[in-house]
Amino acid sequence: SAKAAGKRQWCGYQPQLQAGLVERHELNESLDTAIAESAFALYYQPIVDLLTGDLVAFEALVRWPHERRGMVLPEEFISLAEESGQIVPLGAWVLERAATEATAWQRMSGELREAAGRRPLRVSVNVSARQFRDAGFVDTVRKTVETSGIAPESLILELTESVLMRRDERVRTDMQTLGDLGVRIAIDDFGTGYSSLSYLREFPISVLKIDKSFIDGLGLSQQQYALVEGITRIADTLGVQVIAEGIENVDQRHLLAAMGCPLGQGYLFARPLTADQAGALVQQDAERAGLQNGRR
């Protein structure tokens, strides 16, 4: 546009860099406003039992509805919010909203699920490294559990390997405190960072999420298959639950189910849903559980 061209000219000899800085500055400012107004949206992607298709949990995924940019995806603002520290209040909002919505869905579905021998629905929330390192994080989690009324074991916190890599005393004690609180900790995107299976015995990890990049190659390469199968088996031996990310086709689903990977998420089952759509799915899944139970 003419305006963009003008800006580029005005910026002189480092147009790209300058435009980037202006853009970042603008984004940071509107992020501030969005945080102050809680102007974000949470979407929910189902996590299902790969054998039965039963709904087991939702992963909460944040979006930023922006008047000019449309629905902004996390990859465009999470790293910015991490650098500026804005991820701390943003992350607290996500946690609170996800826990509150999940508690309502639990109330809606609890009886039918229980009668069918199924566990309460869980909710999984992404936590960035910066957010985890913030001194107030554990307290925020504790308060969220109290105010939302969620059973702590229904709340999963997804951390990436970059958090565990630091292995300092704070990480250790915070993980312990969270474990004592009863919330579950997942390693997200397992296999993409400095993966180490020793994390599984060093920290109170309950869930391991195998990154989509491994799932993509499942049917294509023997090695990929063997790797995923090996990780699944080791995790299982250690009592850690495995969730496969990014399942897009039935072949992947069947290969995973056959190797003993119990849970997964991906476009094959559902894209991230709005809260209303997620609520409808909870209802529908609980009714199905009720019907199956009646037939037994």
Extract the runs of DSSP E, i.e. beta strands, from 86-225: 122-126, 155-160, 184-190, 207-210
User: Could you tell me which residues come within 8 angstroms of residue 199 by beta carbon, excluding any fewer than 6 positions away?
Assistant: 161, 164, 187, 205
State the binding partner of 62 from ligand C2E, Mg ion, none, CB within 5 to 8 A by kind. ligand C2E
Strands 241-244 and 263-264: parallel
Q: How far apart are CA 191 and CA 228, in angstroms?
A: 10
Stretch that binds ligand C2E, among 1-9, 12-20, 148-156, 261-269 (CB under 6 A): 261-269
Stretch that binds ligand C2E, among 17-25, 70-78, 174-182, 282-290 (CB under 6 A): 70-78
Q: Which of residues 108-127 bind Mg ion (CB under 5 A)?
A: 126
Can residue 128 be called a binding residue for ligand C2E (CB under 6 A)? yes
CA 177, CA 248: separation in Å to the nearest integer? 36
Choose the stretch contacting ligand C2E; rule: CB under 6 A; options: 49-57, 69-77, 172-180, 277-285: 69-77
Q: Which of residues 184-223 bind Mg ion (CB under 5 A)?
A: 188-189
Does residue 86 touch ligand C2E according to CB under 6 A? no
131 forms part of the interface with Mg ion (CB under 5 A):
no
Distance CA 207, CA 157 (A): 9
**Residue 107 three-state SS:** helix
Q: What is residue 267's three-state secondary structure?
A: coil
Per rule CB under 6 A, is residue 140 in the interface with ligand C2E? no
Site for ligand C2E in 173-192 (CB under 6 A): 188-189
Interface ranges with ligand C2E (CB under 6 A): 45, 61-62, 73-75, 78, 91, 94, 126-128, 158, 188-189, 245-248, 265-267, 272
